[in-house]
Structure 1
Amino acid sequence: MDVVFDEAAARVLKEEEWWFESEEGSLLKWHWPIGLLYDNHSISLSTKQSASSSQVTPLRLILHLASPPTDKLLLSPSAESCKQAFMGQMKEADFIRWGNTKRMTGLRKAEQDGLWEGIKEHNFDEYWRVASKVTPTTTPTRSQSPPPPPSSTSMHTRPPSADPSTNGGPDRDGPRSPILEDGTLPSRASDHSVRPLRPDLRPGSTHTLARFLTTRLPLLFPSPESGQSNLACAFIQGVPAPHDTEMAWLGACMAGADGWVNVCVGLQRDGAARY
């Protein structure tokens, strides 16, 4: 801001009144990860670009210096507010995944602070040192396995209570949230979408992304029995997600730092995903 304003003008600015807006007029929520903001921006273009356009528009930001729409931003633009939102998301994900928040509340205060500090300071080894105690993994640790390299703890270690051999594994596939092109959250806006229940599956079958999308957004993702084509496509962490992907795998490998799998849903035109 020193480049734009002189010293006198800079003194009257209040950081707590700053807020960001995209060039298209979408408010950017402080507590959303930047990758999720960009994914949401990208899928929103699927209704605004022409069918022949394949160019991805950069996310251009407009910084406002006053009059923040607090009713839409939800949080004040402070590090403490973002920290509280992040920790709240971690605890919510912990409850939905395991049915309780014992793993999060069982952490020492220094460990809980370490989760946030690791993200804030880009010290991901510090983050995973603690996160590996509360998040699911893809494979259990074997006694004969070599020590995992730095930054990969989460993929090779499993909390004892999460090991299937202890009968303490999760009875859910992990917290997930579909996000539509206008930034709405249909899954988490309704109580029945986030209640910690195992989906009704036949013995031997798995809970897939296709089943989740058909259940939550049936108009966009009709059931295979209907013979209708999908009208939308799903993106997770910027990647078009195959619909036969297991939800448990997504929860272990594609969740964000807050423990949530954010599924962005964009329109599909002419048989191709618009992103």
Structure 2
Amino acid sequence: MAMEHATLNAIQKIVWEGNLPLQITLASSESRTYDQTDPYLISYPRISYLPSLLPKLKAFFSSSLIDPAASPHDGWFSFEGVPLKWHYPVGLLYDLYAGADPATKSSDVDYSSDSPLPWQLVIHFTDWPNEELVRLDAKGMVMNDAFINSVKEADFVRNGTAKGIMSLSKDDSSGLWKAVQDVDLPSFQRIMNILLPQPNQPFRNLPIRLFLPLPPKPDSDSDSPTLKVVQSPIPPTITATQAASQTSQSILLSSSRILPGTGSPQTHQQHQTQTIGSALHSILPHLFPSRRTPVLAKPVLHGAVVPMSAPVEEVVRCSAYGDGWVYIVIRMMG
């Protein structure tokens, strides 16, 4: 049964209230005191982007910089030597590179030495990694344009056209990015409700990207893991024939899904709701041989394992990041 609109709003509010404790240290090669510079500590919204911190970080570390003339937009972040893509929300970056196993039994945050929190990042103001990151600008337009382009892509996937975002007023277009920067959920919801199909109107496809961390390439000089991003059209519903095909391929076929006396999967429903499990089984069948139970891998979103039975459209409506995309990290089990 579909969740009530109020329930989806409540989940979205929880998502937007999610924070990550960050411990940001100035690169020792850029510090007058080498590695003795005090770190910058902050509890930062998961939906936010790291470049928004650069003005504060430049001011905080200015007295320690060997090159005090560096500009805030010269700043870039790394984790364990890996430059972090600034156009990804910080919550996604954490889930990709440092997330603890989300299947924890305790809700208490552990800040012991073995804990991945606070997330320890390094800030650099020199030696920009041009081959890996696009440079930022002083006015923040590069960051703004990257966000809006991502919003347009999501809008096109949802509706088959980007007319929605293109027809927004100038105030609403700039207001969407400002709402994400300010973590202003009411303003964000007002504008996003213009872009999203109404609950009684179908999505054309659902804007979801899957991230698969891969081991380092054998011929690479780096021992850092690489990423594979998988994206495929995901409709909000699947036909009974598609569902039956998925069921027959599943290694966990349940006899309870067979109608008595027919010997075949149920086909009386013309369409069935697309779930996280059915979508993953369709796109990554080798990692998700079952559409009901995680066997080899599990989907992680906002630091939590997504139920395989969750309707994908509802996940998009309540758990997408600010640009409208649902970014799911695939984490291997065992």
Judge same fold: TM > 0.5, yes or no.
yes
Q: SS where residue 62 of structure 1 aligns?
A: strand
- 2:171 is the alignment partner of 1:171: no
Q: Which runs of 5+ in 2 are unaligned?
A: 1-57, 102-113, 214-224, 241-269
Q: 1:30 to 1:186 in 2, by over 3 A?
A: closer
Q: 1:257 to 1:3 in 2, by over 3 A?
A: closer
Identical aligned residues as a percent: 26
Instruction: Select which of 290, 295, 320 maps to 1:230.
Output: 295
Could you say which residue in structure 2 is the equivalent of 1:208?
275
Alignment of structure 1 residues 116-131 onto 2, 5 Å: 116-131=177-192
Q: Which amino acid aligns with 1:71?
A: E
Q: Which amino acid aligns with 1:211?
A: S
Alignment of structure 1 residues 176-191 onto 2, 5 Å: 176-181=208-213, 182=225, 184-188=227-231
User: Residues 175 and 251 of structure 1 are in contact (CA less than 8 Å); yes or no, is this contact kept in structure 2?
Assistant: yes
Residue 229 of structure 1: how far off its partner (Å): 6.7
Q: Distance in 1 between matches of 2:180 and 2:212?
A: 26
Instruction: Select which of 262, 267, 273 maps to 2:332.
Output: 267
User: Residues 237 and 271 of structure 2 are in contact (CA less than 8 Å); yes or no, is this contact kept in structure 1?
Assistant: no
Deviations 1:122-147 (A, max 9, x none): 333222221111125xxxxxxxxxxx
CA RMSD after TM alignment: 2.8
Structure with greater Cα Rg = 2
Residue 112 of structure 1: how far off its partner (Å): 0.4
Could you say which residue in structure 2 is the equivalent of 1:154?
none
Q: SS where residue 89 of structure 1 aligns?
A: helix
Q: Which amino acid aligns with 2:169?
A: R
- Give the TM-score of the pair, scaled to structure 2: 0.59
Instruction: Select which of 95, 120, 136 maps to 1:60.
Output: 120
Could you say which residue in structure 2 is the equivalent of 1:220?
287
Q: Which amino acid aligns with 1:186?
A: V
Q: Which runs of 5+ in 1 are unaligned?
A: 47-54, 137-161, 270-275
Q: SS where residue 158 of structure 2 aligns?
A: helix
Residue 56 of structure 1: how far off its partner (Å): 4.1
Q: SS where residue 239 of structure 2 aligns?
A: coil
User: Residues 297 and 333 of structure 2 are in contact (CA less than 8 Å); yes or no, is this contact kept in structure 1?
Assistant: yes
Residue 262 of structure 1: how far off its partner (Å): 0.7
Q: Distance in 2 between matches of 1:41 and 1:7?
A: 28
Q: Distance in 2 between matches of 1:3 and 1:197?
A: 47
Could you say which residue in structure 2 is the equivalent of 1:140?
none
User: Residues 31 and 75 of structure 1 are in contact (CA less than 8 Å); yes or no, is this contact kept in structure 2?
Assistant: no
Could you say which residue in structure 1 is the equivalent of 2:43?
none
- 2:313 is the alignment partner of 1:248: yes
Q: 1:205 to 1:8 in 2, by over 3 A?
A: closer
Residue 113 of structure 1: how far off its partner (Å): 0.7
Larger RCO (CA within 8 A; separation ≥ 6): 1
Q: 1:56 to 1:233 in 2, by over 3 A?
A: farther
- 2:142 is the alignment partner of 1:81: yes
- Give the TM-score of the pair, scaled to structure 1: 0.71
Could you say which residue in structure 1 is the equivalent of 2:166?
105
User: Residues 19 and 77 of structure 1 are in contact (CA less than 8 Å); yes or no, is this contact kept in structure 2?
Assistant: no
Q: Which amino acid aligns with 1:207?
A: Q
Q: SS where residue 96 of structure 1 aligns?
A: helix
